A and B are shown apart, each in its own frame.
Chain A
């Protein structure tokens, strides 16, 4: 069956360190993958999109990799700050239709 897995446990890191979040999937062949940030009581906010023919994408302190052989995406936040504390969701397209399937999300806590 199709499955998207993100670290279910919260990730706690020290300010200034690099946070790495993982998104694994099975039985999907997504044309692209997206990462969103969600703060408590708010809707998800888009961060980055990476296509199947792209290995890596960067935006400021954020970096996403996409390995279609491993069926995995890694999301990195360098020089992390307490303001980066939030839940991060990965989402796969389903059949190149615009329809997204979301993972459960990983909660990141950056301690000062």
Chain B
């Protein structure tokens, strides 16, 4: 199994641009999580899906952030418009139920 796949691995963009991060969970996992990690705030949960349905998006910072999961093997996190304070490492993770989570390698986002 290839594990959780994220793309791109690095993204550098300018303020105001749209950014789309992509995630492919492990096959057979029914829960998917998007996290953001910064030195100041640590690892924060943004949103999670169960069986492709968003369950809790209380961690999404504001309306500029949106996430979708059109099917069991793909999810996107979109930031529009991006701002410098969105610079962080974004992780996607997947799991089966109430068990350990498997994290992807992350996307390092830099907004200039």
Contacts and interface: CB of A to CB of B under 8 A. Distances in A.
Contact of A102 (B4, B43, B55, B98): B43
Contact of B98 (A98, A101, A103): A98
Interface in A11-39: 31-32, 34
A32 B91 CA distance: 22
| Contact-residue bracket for chain A | 20 to 34
Interface residues of B, number: 24
B97 interface: yes
Interface of B is mostly: strand
Interface of B: 4, 31, 33, 42-45, 48, 50, 55-56, 91, 93, 95, 97-106
30 contacts: A31-B98, A32-B98, A34-B101, A42-B105, A43-B106, A44-B43, A44-B91, A44-B103, A45-B103, A46-B100, A46-B101, A46-B102, A49-B100, A93-B98, A97-B55, A97-B56, A98-B31, A98-B48, A98-B97, A98-B99, A99-B33, A99-B55, A100-B45, A102-B42, A102-B43, A102-B44, A102-B45, A104-B42, A105-B42, A105-B43
